[in-house]
Chains A and B, each alone.
Chain A
Amino acid sequence: MPHSKIPVDLILSKLAEDTEKAHTRAQKASDVLLGELKTELAQTPYEVVFQEDRVKLKHYLPRTEIKYNTPLLVTYALINRETMLDLQPGRSVVERFLNAGIDLYMIDWGYPSRKDRFMGFEDHIDGYINSVVDYIRATHKLEKINLMGICMGGTFSVIYSALYPEKIKNLITTVTPTNFDTDKGLLHVWMKSINVDRVVDTFGNLPADIMNLGFLLLNPARLMIDKYIGFMENMDNKTFVENFVRMEKWIFDSPDLPGEVFRTFIKDCYQGNKLLQNKMVVGGRQVNLKNLTMPVLNIYGKYDHLVPPEACDQLVNKVGSKDTEDICLNTGHIGIYVSSKYQEEFAPKIANWLKERDQIGPPPTAAKRRKTTARKPAAQAKPKAAASQPAARRKTARTAAKTGGKKTTARRTTAKTEKKTNK
């Protein structure tokens, strides 16, 4: 008897096995889903040391001795929330920076409401970021601080550093779009044909739900089907469910995007590609990338579907600095920050790079331009002995967030010490 080409018996047998597994999984899943789940985000303690309107400045409480002379300010995008850098204990870029001894500040842009629809690039860059930078400079009695920007926050950081090079010691850009004249990413294709004036004039701010729908439509097969199939297959695994729900919380915790920011981002950047051509004007001042004379570290993802490498890799060639480094990691837009594997490479690299450029005065290394692609995980940062002065100075003004510290007065606004809050 000839052997059948279609293994019907095996398929049916496997199907029966799968059905039984699914039944068992469903029973366990009910215990997991009905039980207590730890899905909180942003667990690392911080205090809000400065606030202007809805914008807050978080200062993370040191976990170890501060080993850097210069504090680091992280500027996240206005799309989604900065909590992505601190997803959970053990999987947190913030935690890694603190463990390395970095004195860390981060901007929380808050949730723009309809009254913020008129807030544009100038208000966010020349206004909020400048206020925050000045506050940190004044607090630490420093002329310059380190600035790290993420995605759109990176674009803001580039513009800010070009407008105020005298205030920035080192600039780090991660998954930062600066070249918009490419068709590699779908966003770059789609945004070129959108009637941004019609959208902004109607909606005021760009509604987060529309933005999220747009992001889901970038890959519906994976993001709307396969992801949830994966969840169904693992919903009896408590750790998996907790991680999954935590990511879901972060993904859909989206503030609306201020209308005028969206208008400028689309018209001047996506449609005009003005930044790289030094044609962009913010607050009446031309943004000249040649003003970026400070060391620049530019990190991006090879498989980034939102900000493809082509959108990032031209920056270092356009800046005025001779101390630049380009790093392309074998991961995507979010993977850089949330994947344990790439966190081990990403955070220590930044810590080491900053440490090499942390001394007061000119950098010790000779002027250089480097380009690295798909690096293997770097060794853990081993910084030298801590500079005691900044740490001692900070002790005078800080109290733990969870114990309810005293208020610190900031320029123009009263800083509020508060527990970690999301909304």
Chain B
Amino acid sequence: MNGSKENSFDMNEAISAWMKFTADVWGPMVSQMVNQTTDFWSEGTDKPGKGFRSDRSGTTKSQAAMSAALNNWQAMATALSSSESVDALLKGSGAMPEMLLKLGQTSYSGSLQLQQKIIERISRLGESTEAYKFEDIDENIFRMWTDIYENEFRQFLHVPQLGLLRAYQEKVSVAADKYALFQASLSEFLRLLAMPFHRSMQVMQEKLTEMAEQGTLPDDTKEYYTLWIKVLEGHFMTLFQNPEYVETLSRTINDLAEFVAARDAALEDIIGLLPVARKSEVDELSEDIYELKKRLRRLERKSQEQP
């Protein structure tokens, strides 16, 4: 064991020697450079135009700072060249790859988990839809997207904000969140509105086939349009009574209102920087005037009723 230790390269000694060498060589060199620079600044006092100084002590502030930094570096290098410090440094270096690995693993694992969750959710699209029922697929796509957003992405917009501007950032994040939810509801609502068109086309095809078989196809193109618009109207009327449509309509309006409220709250912060009144301030003022007018009207009425 000892023999091998003697023959092997001693890392501690090598680093210690290198640190000492660095301090011994570069220390005096830098010190010399600083001295020369000091002379240069000092000369400026006797020879106008060649150099200059900024204070009466004959040294500039930057020069003093440089000297202090050099001294610190020399002290640090000397301290680090001790065998104890080199041991600690080497131990730290050994831990570095492990730390980097763990950091990478955590990030990668988090990303994988997120992707896995998304894949799991997307895989459910197939599970919850029936074959040849394309309506359900459409419907599920919108719902699944909303679901994925709410469970996976939405949290990022609700990460606690820190620092001086946290309140402003929080409002912007809330507005972004409400916008995403409104878009999801709107997409679903528009999908429902498009359904009567699809169905009407199907019904039209069936009717035309039937009429063609019976030889009763009209020759006036206007009649085709009239037939189509009647079928379309019928489908809309059926849709509008549907509880799912009513629920989606209500949710879309609600989400729009939520988004507008969140957007206004964020915008009011920006408007606060401008020399104009905020909407909420104008509302407060309007309410005060409204209440005053109401009180005045009541008093007026009372005074008229009294003899």
Contacts and interface: CB of A to CB of B under 8 A. Distances in A.
A201 B287 CA distance: 13
Interface in B199-227: 212-215, 217, 219-222, 225
A193 interface: yes
Interface string A389-401: 0000000000000
A65 B223 CA distance: 52
B246 A193 contact: yes
Nearest to A192: B246
Contacts of B18: none
A198 B257 contact: yes
B261 interface: yes
B274 interface: no
A127 B254 contact: no
Contact of A221 (B219, B229, B260): B229
- Give the size category of A's interface with B: 35 or more
A4 to B, nearest CB: 8
A196 B130 CA distance: 37
A18 B218 CA distance: 14
A252 interface: no
Interface class of chain B by DSSP: helix
B186 interface: no
B286 A190 contact: no
A115 B250 contact: no
Contact of A117 (B225, B254, B260, B286): B286
Contacts of A114: 279, 282-283, 286
Interface stretch (A9-17, A85-93, A144-152, A167-175): A9-17
A6 interface: yes
Interface residues of B, number: 40
B290 A221 contact: no
Contact of A190 (B213, B220, B249, B261): B249
A194 interface: yes
B221 A123 contact: no
A193 B247 contact: yes
Interface in B269-284: 279, 282-283
28 contacts: A5-B213, A5-B217, A10-B219, A11-B217, A11-B221, A13-B219, A14-B219, A14-B221, A114-B279, A114-B282, A115-B286, A115-B290, A118-B290, A189-B240, A189-B241, A193-B249, A194-B253, A198-B254, A198-B257, A203-B260, A210-B253, A217-B240, A220-B193, A221-B232, A221-B233, A225-B232, A229-B225, A412-B300
